Structure 1
């Protein structure tokens, strides 16, 4: 993140001795990005953070991907997807490429194992639910509508207070606010649709330290890369990773709630970049929220047909009534995938129906990728085979059978 925080006890000068009341030296860990040439934080541990006593294979869930071939738009019904209850191990892969993966899980109320993603940052959208994420930096509370941003290689665990629907965007890079929102020193600018007041970092570090004081031989699940692809390792540490007595810096987990995003509107329909909230390497994250719409007397409020020639577009429909998709089968909990190389837009009847509207009550999270997305096994399991033909009203085998063409209504 772009602004400085500190918690717990730290020495007056970095990289100097820091001792407890009995004179024992704390162990300093520098956690930094981009070869220590970008954001970093300094953490002070009671135990040695590299004291590993075992390392074994952690078998990940199915990470296989199937190309979107033949090319067509896809509709995936996530609320029909059966998942495990663990916020980490229960995730099922929905879509992915070599830059970013999208997974989904409906959790129970049991805490996850300790977990670290060593591949990239995670941005987990909380479709529904509440709880906390315990991390080496402290506790981050989450609620419905939050993005939970967890930096790469941060040891943490999810502790749901209630069953939670989590939409996990797992990057191969870092995730941060768009550069155009930031000053050259990293402050969010006046034209940005959110500011630092909307970002909520970790608290309650002392409680985690005390709770982990006597634990030994602690397992941490680590997702990482090899030449064979994405794999998992179960690392066993001599002491608990939550033994951090203090830290400071500009790298830490935080939440941002979708309701704190201030939509940018205009006299005519605005392009998707005005809805952007975060970006990573080769992808962006946007959100579409309830808002006043275009006020030109001849405005067409729903999107024009568009061909985003460089991107695949993924929309996750999370609230309200999405005007442009009426008649397509899209509903809450749906994902639409509109691939590059294919023009898409509203259902035909939605265009006339939108004329004269001054407000849209709709919420969606969008991920645009600059490399093609494959279908994960979870996405394949809940695909609506009729979706690609809904603009035409008919299509071959649209009902998923061998019974010939099917006919659809665009109303």
Structure 2
């Protein structure tokens, strides 16, 4: 995280006795990245945070993938995955359906209405984009209030739960890394401050503002972690005391929200490449967003993207608002994903190139993940593939 925060009550000196009520000793826990060599925070607990009374297998939602072979672009219709009111009995953690994944990042989709179990991801950071609805996200660091358009960035091993607003479906696009997720390095000073050319700043990042306290013994926490051969597995812990017992914390590692409406688009006289849309990065992947914006103003500009080959990456685009000019005529709409794999040239649909000439504004909203290893199809992706998108540029099927 780019800047220091504190919440609750903490002692004046770290790693010293802290008697939070004048008598009872608090238990200090360091949550830190990269083996004491990167960002960290110190949390002060009423109980021993490592005390567990049981450990059993948690069968995580289907994490198997199949290769995109033979190679072709795909159109995945995510809104077909949750129908007929099933969201009312679904939660954000256990109800996720894996759409795409590789060894670096997994993308799932869920429509939820029920409070999730307590959960932490021991594989990597999570970046959950809220397509619609709202939720209270309770964490060991405190409460986040998530609304439509928010990215909710949750550091690895942060215990939390999702509580959707009653009566309203929460649509969430879940990006799970096997690494950390952070602002791009080119946006940061050598000390971690967001620079003047960055499309957002610290004022746009919203961390917890109130602690959450709960009590109880033998409290269940679901943990996702690495298994044999690097596969995704789960464990069900019973913690001796409720993990929401934090008195205070401080540091530079904590969950936060960032709303896509606070991203300030960068524009130019001619079409600008996707890195200008970047919002976060992880190991071997980046996250970008395309927001409503003025477009190219050279007198001979063509505002939609030129045709391009993803030589080193797969491009995954989630369409979550507006009217995406380059994809008109393809069947893609809100709730769609397009997968354009490395090794295949792609670009505007037939007619879009010409229609865009003279446009001065695009009203579109999309979240893009570019990966540097091939994406494979998960159970959810296979279930909602339209099967025809690859042939739309030619206008005929094989």
Q: Please give the range of the TM-score, normalised by the shorter of the 2 chains.
A: over 0.9
- SS class of match (1:394): coil
1:2-401 alignment, distance < 5 Å: 2-21=2-21, 23-82=23-82, 85-108=90-113, 110-161=114-165, 162-205=168-211, 208-209=212-213, 212-213=214-215, 215-228=216-229, 229-396=231-398
Cα distance in 2 between the residues matched to 1:50 and 1:356: 62
SS in 2 for 1:355: coil
Q: Which runs of 4+ in 1 moved over 4 A?
A: none
Q: Distance in 1 between matches of 2:19 and 2:240?
A: 20
Which residue in the other structure is 1:403 paired with?
A: none
Residues 347-356 or 146-155, more deviating: 347-356
Q: CA deviation at 1:395?
A: 1.6
Say which SS state the counterpart of residue 329 (structure 1) adopts: coil
The more displaced of 346-355 and 275-284 is: 346-355
Alpha-carbon distance between aligned partners in 2 of 1:86 and 1:192, rounded to the nearest angstrom: 35
Q: Helix, strand or coil: the match of 1:252?
A: coil
Q: CA deviation at 1:308?
A: 1.8
Deviations 1:211-235 (A, max 9, x none): x13x111000000001141101000
Report the Cα distance in structure 1 between the residues aligned to 2:281 and 2:302, rounded to whole angstroms: 29
Structure 2's unaligned 5+ residue stretches are none
- 5+ unaligned residues in a row in structure 1: which ranges? 397-411
SS of the residue corresponding to residue 351 of structure 1 reads helix
Q: Normalized against structure 2, the TM-score is what?
A: 0.97
Q: CA deviation at 1:20?
A: 2.7
SS of 2:308's partner is: coil
Give, in angstroms, the shift of residue 348 of structure 1.
1.9
Over aligned residue pairs, what C-alpha RMSD do you find? 0.8
SS of residue paired to 2:351: helix
SS in 2 for 1:348: coil
Displacement of 1:22: 5.1
SS in 1 for 2:198: coil
Q: Deviations over 1:106-150 (max 9, x none)?
A: 001x21000000000000000001111100000000000000000
How many residues get paired? Answer: 390
Deviations 1:227-280 (A, max 9, x none): 141101000011000000000000000000000000000000000000000000
* Deviation of the 1:36 alpha carbon: 1.1
Distance 1:197 1:20 in 2: 31
Question: For residue 402 of structure 1, what is the aligned residue in structure 2?
Answer: none
How far apart, in 1, do the equivalents of 2:321 and 2:2 lie?
30
SS of equivalent to 1:180: helix
